[in-house]
Amino acid sequence: MLDITSRLRVDVDAWVAAQMDMGFCDAIERKACAGKTAAMSAQHLPKVAGIDPTFPAPAHTSAAAHPMPEVPPPPGAVIQDRLAGWVSDLTTLHELTERLARTGTLDEALDELLNAGAALVGARRGMVVLEPPRDPAHDGVFAGAPGAALLPRTRGLGLGRADLGHIETVPREATAFGPLLRDRRPAAAPAPVARPDLLAEDLHPLHREVAVRLGCAATWTCPLATDGSAVLGAAVWMYDEPAEPVERQTHLAGLYMRYATEHLARLLELERARATVATLADELLPRRLPRVPGVALAVRHRTGERGGGDFYDALPLPEGALGLAVGSVSGSGPSALAAMGRLRASLRAYAVMEGEDPVAVLSDLELLLRLTEPARTATALFAYAEPAARRIVLAGAGHTPPLVIGERRTEFAETTLSAPLGMLACWEAPSVELAPEPGETVLLYTDGLLRRTGDAMDRAFARLHTAAAGVPRSARSDPSAVADHVLRAMLPDGLDRTDGAEDVVLLAARFD
């Protein structure tokens, strides 16, 4: 065994004690209490902060004896990193395009485009201007649009109506998206326009004023176009401070915008088709309601996205009478619209000839439908009204019952159960007679009003009854107000929902 002096043993103990976060003197005192030699318990110099001045205090973390050599990356690590980045980018792009593909309307697609683009380029606000190309053959009307469905529209992200209104005051040529929309059919898709420091440029005075008002310091504008296609519009993303997306961001945003352009083009074609169907349906229905003494009329009609065959009619008859009709032809699309037009025209002819007998009118209509269109069915309700006598005689073929709304009652009229037209070899069912009180309103409607609620038919009928009973007293003298209240209660989202598959017809007749 080696002969180690006490002094050296104290040194070793001190080093171990320091490594265990104990003071040197604390270690000495513990050794003395354990019965060590007198040399260890002899009087020491005064302690300072628990450290014996004879021995320097070692650092808690000692430095490495030799620096670690830099290990070069393994072969292919750079390529693996790049591949991982590409996979991440492609995954992000796939998720964003999938979300965009699930949108079914232009407004939904534009909102999704703004949110996805803002995430890709690192912006907080933005706007998109959609302007389909004009068709010169239709006197400046947008291509394929028979009405106002495809007028230019602007959507904002983080911008209110007032903000968008301020932007519209800036001349188009002074904006970044104005020149992009000027050349509607370029040979190649226009390049994005970056303005990394907007206020440092020589801007139009109105443009500078709007930029300061909105706190917009930089913009990045990307056209909605592909090679060889018409420019549909442009998207602008705004930064609060001078900034510009990096090359990787612009590349991903460019790929996304190309896909978005194709998706928006498909939605535009769908909107054009829906607008054409709606216009055709409106042209096949009465352009205005007749004015007959003793009764006030109001109608609300909306064609479904696929174009159904619901119809209504109000026909003045001899001796101050009035013929009211609602109905629905089976099927959808242009063929259903054409069949609806033929059925309505035939019903008007039969009403003029024998309108006093609604059963005869529907019997003739049944025979015509069975002979000319054996593969089609229809529901119909025809009412012969005498406003002066406040008397209504009606008959229905598989149709929903009328609803009478008055001060003392809100009830469905009891009609006989009958199969729709075209389902029986010979249709005939007894008629019923109503006697509305002065001020009461009779509602005629199609089942599309009930089906659009999404409820079961029994619950939809109960919902309609509740909506009619809740018409305010101040509105019951106006059939238009009655119809609007019922529609708001039944369809909170309104009739303008483009994803509504069912036609809706609501005809209100208020008797004095």
Contacts of 467 (CB under 8 A, 6+ apart): 485, 486, 489, 490
The owner of tokens 């912006």 is 123
Residue-wise pLDDT for 122-160, tens only, equals 999 999 999 877 654 444 444 433 344 456 789 999 999
Task: Express as a percent the part of the chain with pLDDT over 70.
Answer: 79
Find the angle CA(479)-CA(384)-CA(485) to the nearest 5 degrees: 20
pLDDT band with cut points at 50, 70 and 90 for residue 315: very high
Tokens 């939904």 identify what position?
A: 108
What residues contact 168, with CB distance under 8 A and at least 6 apart?
154
Q: Is 459 left (phi over 0), alpha (psi -120 to 50) or beta?
A: alpha
Q: Which of 362, 384, 305, 342 is nearest to 105 (CA)?
A: 305
pLDDT at res. 394: 93
The pLDDT of residue 450: 92
Place of tokens 């009405």: 147
Q: Do domains 91-278 and 284-511 have the same CATH topology?
A: no
CB 206 within 8 A of CB 171: yes
- Here the tokens at position 338 are 């054409």
First-to-last C-alpha distance (Å) of the chain = 127
Q: At residue 507, does pLDDT exceed 60?
A: yes
Backbone angle region of 131, left / alpha / beta, with phi > 0 → left and psi within -120 to 50 → alpha = beta
**296-302 mean pLDDT:** 93
Give CA–CA dist 255/226, Å, rounded: 10
Reading the block at residue 266, the tokens are: 């498909």
Least Cα distance to 178 among 134, 217, 238, 131 occurs for 131
User: Could you tell me if 332 and 304 are in contact, meaning their C-beta atoms sit under 8 angstroms apart?
Assistant: yes
Q: In angstroms, rounded to a whole number, what is the distance separating the alpha carbons of residues 17 and 58? A: 10
Say what the pLDDT of residue 84 is.
80
- Return the C-alpha torsion angle 220, 226, 231, 237, nearest 10: -20
User: What does 71-125 look like in DSSP terms, one character per residue?
Assistant: PPPPTTHHHHHHHHHHHHHHHHHHHHHHHHHT--SHHHHHHHHHHHHHHHHT-SE
Give one DSSP letter per residue of 220-237, joined into a string.
EEEEE--TTS---EEEEE
User: Is residue 18 very low, low, confident or very high in pLDDT (cuts 50, 70, 90)?
Assistant: very low
156 beta partners = 127
Q: Which two tokens stand for residue 19?
A: 């490594």
Does the pLDDT value for residue 180 go beyond 50?
yes
Sequence-distant (6+) residues with CB within 8 A of 214 are 159, 163, 166, 167, 238
Q: H/E element holding 194?
A: strand 193-195
Task: Tell which residue, 414, 405, 486, 397, has the closest CA to residue 450.
Answer: 486
pLDDT range class, residue 36, cuts 50, 70, 90: very low
- Using a pLDDT cut of 90, give the percent of the chain over it: 52
Topology (CATH) of 284-511: Phosphatase 2c; domain 1 (3.60.40)
Give me the DSSP letters along 305-344.
TT--EEEEEEEEEGGGEEEEEEEEESS-SHHHHHHHHHHH
> With 90 as the cut, is the pLDDT of residue 332 above it?
no
Which of 49-53, 105-109, 203-207, 361-365 shows the lowest mean pLDDT across its residues?
Answer: 49-53
Is the per-residue pLDDT at 199 higher than 60? yes
Give the pLDDT band (50/70/90) at residue 348: very high
List beta partners, residue 302: 504
pTM score, two decimals? 0.65
Beta bridge partners of 312: 326
Q: Stretch 33-54: mean pLDDT, rounded?
A: 40
Contact 44, 28 (CB under 8 A): yes
Confidence of residue 242 (pLDDT cuts 50, 70, 90): very high
Q: Where are the domains of the chain?
A: 1-58, 91-278, 284-511
Q: What is the pLDDT of residue 278?
A: 80
- Per CATH, the number for 91-278 is 3.30.450.40
DSSP 373-437: -TT--EEEEEEEEETTTTEEEEEEES-PPPEEE-SS-EEE------PPBTSSSS-----EEE-PP
What mean pLDDT is reported for the chain? 81
Six-digit token pair at 41?
């318990």
Average pLDDT over residues 231-251: 93
| Residue, of 138 and 399, whose pLDDT is higher | 399
The per-residue pLDDT for range 243-263, each reduced to its tens digit, is 999 999 999 999 999 999 999
Mean pLDDT of 325-351: 91
Of 35, 34, 32, 28, the residue nearest 10 (C-alpha): 28
Task: Give the residues across from 129 on adjacent strands.
Answer: 154, 234
